[in-house]
């Protein structure tokens, strides 16, 4: 069994993948700031023969995790942001400073769709661009929905946006504090994604496929106008591409990869941008 780990600032997600059948056997998540204890929602390491890790948590968290895993599992692979991999050139001036979860998302997106825009809606919302040919342009980082809400300190943190809410409802003026905050941060997040996607496509003269991942991907996607795909396992896809262990992975197939819709035409994206500038 292969254990894939995606350690974010909020949640440490894991999944167990059968190395023979490529099936995902189980998944879970624990709070990143909490210590792993027996009984918490962690996988049984006795069945694990290899581990792949993407971590943006503090260095100490990664070190503890790697030490624990190395004592139990033969091969442990830790992903790093590097200047170039799998045909993608990292756009950062200091490539190792690019969050490795972003790097994994970009590599997975490029392997699946070629040039693309990869959006990760977690603790932070990150929006990265890679062009056909593999040049990563860099990206944008803004606070995620939960962080935006907590920063207001209005006592609304425990009332999360219902992920099944319709975007139209979430865009209405709120008539209670909780509603006003939830609708405000929602509009901030979806406006940023829509605008940044259109700006960069316009500037580069190309309509790029759009991919979303992260804990808030589903609700943010409801407010995204352009055709897009949601890929909950996009970071894991990057791990599979960097450290292929199964026959399918070596052939470039990533688990759970969605069908990516054709992007809207560049003229349509540009018309939307011009319209939003008139407002």
Ligand X SMILES: Nc1ncnc2c1ncn2[C@@H]1O[C@H](COP(=O)(O)OP(=O)(O)O)[C@@H](O)[C@H]1O
**For binding to ligand PAZ (CB under 6 A), which residues are involved?**
8-9, 56, 97-99, 101-102, 120, 122-124, 126, 141, 144
The reply to whether 52 sits in an annotated binding site is no
Regarding 124 and contact with K ion (CB under 5 A), the answer is yes
Binders in 143-182 for ligand X, by CB under 6 A: 144-146
What is the pattern of x (binds ligand X, CB under 6 A) and - over residues 4-23?
----xxxx------------
Cα–Cα distance measured from residue 5 to residue 58, given in angstroms and rounded to the nearest whole number: 15
Report CA dihedral (192, 197, 200, 202) to the nearest 10 degrees: -120
Cα–Cα distance measured from residue 178 to residue 28, given in angstroms and rounded to the nearest whole number: 29
8 Å CB contact between 90 and 103: yes
8 Å CB contact between 216 and 122: yes
Cα–Cα distance measured from residue 213 to residue 126, given in angstroms and rounded to the nearest whole number: 10
Nearest distance, CB of residue 99 and ligand PAZ, angstroms = 2
30 phi and psi angles, rounded to 5 deg = -130, 155
Pick the closest to residue 102 from 199, 211, 3 (CA basis).
Answer: 211
Whether 101 is a known active-site residue: answer yes
What is the pattern of x (binds ligand X, CB under 6 A) and - over residues 201-240?
-------------xxx------------------------
The reply to whether 255 sits in an annotated binding site is no
**Which CB atom, from 8 or from 263, has the smaller least distance to ligand X?**
8
Q: Which residues pair with 2 in a beta bridge?
A: 17, 50
The reply to whether 102 sits in an annotated binding site is yes
**Which CB atom, from 120 or from 240, has the smaller least distance to ligand PAZ?**
120
Chain residues in the site for ligand X (CB under 6 A): 8-11, 122-123, 144-146, 214-216
Chain residues in the site for K ion (CB under 5 A): 120, 122, 124, 126
């Amino acid at each position: 069994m292969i254990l894939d780990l995606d350690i974010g600032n909020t949640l440490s997600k894991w999944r167990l993948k059968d190395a023979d059948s490529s099936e995902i056997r189980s998944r879970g998540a624990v709070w990143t700031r909490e210590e792993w204890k027996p009984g918490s929602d962690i996988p049984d390491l006795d069945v694990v023969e290899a581990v792949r890790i993407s971590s943006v948590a503090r260095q100490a968290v990664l070190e503890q995790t790697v030490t624990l895993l190395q004592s139990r599992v033969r091969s442990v692979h830790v992903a790093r942001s590097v200047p170039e991999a799998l045909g993608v050139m990292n756009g950062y001036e200091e490539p190792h400073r690019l969050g490795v979860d972003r790097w994994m998302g970009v590599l997975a997106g490029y392997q699946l769709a070629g040039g693309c825009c990869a959006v990760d809606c977690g603790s932070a919302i990150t929006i990265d661009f890679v062009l056909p040919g593999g040049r990563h342009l860099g990206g944008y980082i803004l606070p995620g929905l939960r962080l935006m809400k907590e920063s207001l300190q209005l006592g609304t943190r425990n009332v999360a946006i219902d992920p099944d809410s319709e975007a139209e409802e979430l865009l209405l003026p709120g008539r209670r504090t909780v509603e006003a905050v939830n609708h405000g941060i929602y509009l901030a997040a979806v406006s940023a994604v829509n605008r940044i996607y259109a700006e960069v496509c316009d500037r580069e003269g190309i309509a790029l496929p759009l991919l979303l991942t992260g804990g808030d991907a589903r609700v943010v996607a409801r407010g995204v106008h352009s055709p897009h795909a949601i890929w909950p396992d996009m970071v894991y896809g990057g791990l599979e591409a960097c450290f292929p262990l199964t026959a399918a992975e070596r052939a470039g197939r990533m688990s759970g990869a969605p069908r990516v819709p054709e992007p809207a035409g560049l003229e349509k994206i540009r018309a939307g941008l011009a319209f939003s500038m008139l407002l």
